[in-house]
């Protein structure tokens, strides 16, 4: 291995910056500690509420059933967890996992206040080394979280390991707009309006500048499809939503 190869192996992207893998983990943690309290408000403002439709579509494609075990990785404030909790019922179990304790605290409070209790667990966990048995979950979701993971390939392999045969992984994430005009408009929105909105609403323009940059650095639709296949998933497919601003990737385990 050359010195350059070793450098590439030990570094990754934090937005447009090249940083060590350890440094990225710390910087991402700082971002989400900062935005946790305003996360839901900013999601609505950033997407004009459309994130709710994207998540609803993800729930539909998950096709979860009563009694199943669901893992919601990077579950944050619990939007998907709340929906899955109703679907799987008292015989099922939903685990909300997030690496950030501030996000878990906000999510737990929100779900408890909404009466979502009894079949939901909260686990602080790193997606790259998920602390669950092999072949354990029927469905695994990660919504708007994969782009913040330091080693995405390692995380996908970890998800594959704990997914039951017959189960499916659903990755909902910002992607690459497929229409040139939409792409240009989205760039203007992401790099000008989004940080300004973060400054006004959350008093934090830098965190939202990172979020915009992280979207641009995330693998495009075909690249992520290949990464999921390489991790072992079968019949990987994706659906572009809102012109490719977001894509839902689905992989199965046979």
Our CA angle for 202, 25, 145, nearest 5°, is: 65
- Consult the annotation and say whether 212 binds a ligand: no
Residue 6's pLDDT band, with cuts at 50, 70 and 90, is very low
* 18 CB-near residues (< 8 Å, 6+ apart): 11, 12
pLDDT tens figures, 123-165: 999 999 999 999 999 999 999 999 999 999 999 999 999 999 9
Provide the β-strand partners of residue 248. 172, 239
Q: Give yes or no for a contact between 221 and 247, defined as CB atoms under 8 angstroms apart.
A: yes
Please name the residue that has the structure tokens 């012109």: 243
- Consult the annotation and say whether 98 binds a ligand: yes
Give the integer Cα–Cα distance in Å for 168 and 163: 7
Residue 7's pLDDT band, with cuts at 50, 70 and 90, is very low
Model pLDDT, residue 1: 52
Model pLDDT, residue 24: 81
Mean pLDDT to the nearest integer, 184-211: 79
- Consult the annotation and say whether 63 binds a ligand: no
Give the integer Cα–Cα distance in Å for 22 and 168: 30
Q: Give yes or no for a contact between 175 and 222, defined as CB atoms under 8 angstroms apart.
A: no
Closest C-alpha among 53, 120, 36, 47 to residue 82: 120
Give the integer Cα–Cα distance in Å for 128 and 99: 10
pLDDT tens figures, 56-92: 999 999 999 999 999 999 999 999 999 999 999 999 9
Mean pLDDT to the nearest integer, 169-189: 89
CATH architecture classification, 37-177+211-252: 3-Layer(aba) Sandwich (3.40)
Model pLDDT, residue 188: 82
Instruction: Specify the range with the lowest mean pLDDT, choosing from 45-49, 75-79, 115-119, 225-229.
Output: 45-49
Model pLDDT, residue 180: 82
Mean pLDDT over all residues of the chain? 90
Instruction: Specify the range with the lowest mean pLDDT, choosing from 40-44, 135-139, 219-223.
Output: 40-44
Element (H, E) at 239: strand 234-241
- Consult the annotation and say whether 127 binds a ligand: yes
**What does pTM read for this prediction?**
0.89
């Amino acid at each position: 291995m050359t010195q350059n190869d070793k450098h590439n192996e030990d570094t990754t992207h934090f937005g447009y910056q090249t940083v060590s893998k350890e440094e990225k983990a710390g910087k991402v943690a700082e971002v989400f500690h900062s935005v946790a309290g305003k996360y839901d408000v900013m999601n609505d403002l950033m997407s004009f509420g459309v994130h709710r439709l994207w998540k609803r579509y993800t729930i539909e494609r998950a096709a979860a059933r009563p009694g199943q075990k669901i893992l919601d990785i990077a579950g944050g404030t619990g939007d998907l967890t709340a929906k899955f909790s109703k679907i799987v019922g008292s015989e099922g179990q939903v685990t909300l996992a997030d690496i950030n304790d501030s996000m878990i605290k906000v999510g737990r409070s929100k779900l408890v206040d909404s009466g979502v209790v009894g079949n939901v667990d909260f686990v602080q966990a790193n997606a790259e080394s998920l602390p669950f048995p092999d072949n354990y979950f029927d469905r695994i979701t990660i919504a708007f979280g994969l782009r913040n993971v330091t080693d995405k390939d390692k995380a996908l392999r970890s998800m594959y390991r704990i997914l039951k045969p017959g189960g499916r992984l659903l990755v909902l994430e910002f992607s690459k707009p497929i229409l040139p005009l939409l792409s240009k408009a989205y760039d203007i929105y992401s790099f000008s309006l989004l940080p300004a909105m973060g400054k006004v609403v959350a008093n934090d323009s830098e965190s939202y500048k990172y979020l915009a940059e992280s979207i641009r650095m995330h693998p495009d639709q075909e690249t992520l499809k290949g990464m999921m296949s390489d991790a072992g998933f079968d019949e990987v497919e994706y659906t572009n939503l809102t012109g490719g601003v977001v894509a839902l990737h689905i992989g199965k385990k046979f």
